Amino acid sequence: VKVEEKLFQNRYRVDAGRPHIQIKDEELCASECETQQCTVCCPAGCYTLEGNGRVVLITDGCLECGTCRIICNDHRNVAWEYPRGGYGVLFKFG
Ligand code: SF4
């Protein structure tokens, strides 16, 4: 089974209006971050790079892996918390 097919089995409950991860300063992503690695490393593709160099974060589908929190170590521009109970990803194994 391909990893994409496995991921498709996950379920996700969106906590509308209360994203568990936020970019603290969007201006910083555009003006001071040279690599914008979050747009490449997030396995769920939550971060996208806009044409104007801005990074857009949509947390729906986040796998709660913590990669973006670690990778933004230079700027520490990611505010990261686990979703509230009952929200977020529901993994299905097997
Ligand atoms: Fe993407 Fe992982 Fe960060 Fe979620 S925790 S937004 S899946 S890198």
* Domains observed in the chain: 3-90 (3.30.70.20)
pLDDT single digits (tens) 32-52: 999 999 999 999 999 999 989
Atom 2 (ligand 1): residue with closest C-alpha? Answer: 65
Q: Report residue 85 CA to chain centroid gap.
A: 18
Provide the b/e sequence for 61-72 (b: ≥16 CB within 10 Å): bbbbeebbeebb
pLDDT single digits (tens) 47-83: 999 989 999 999 999 999 999 999 999 999 999 999 9
User: Tell me, what's the ipTM?
Assistant: 0.91
> What count of other Cβ atoms lies within 10 Å of the Cβ of residue 38?
23
Long-range contacts of 91-94 (CB under 8 A, 24+ apart): 91/10, 92/9, 92/10, 92/11
Does 60 sit in the ligand 1 pocket, CB within 6 Å?
A: no
Does 29 sit in the ligand 1 pocket, CB within 6 Å?
A: no
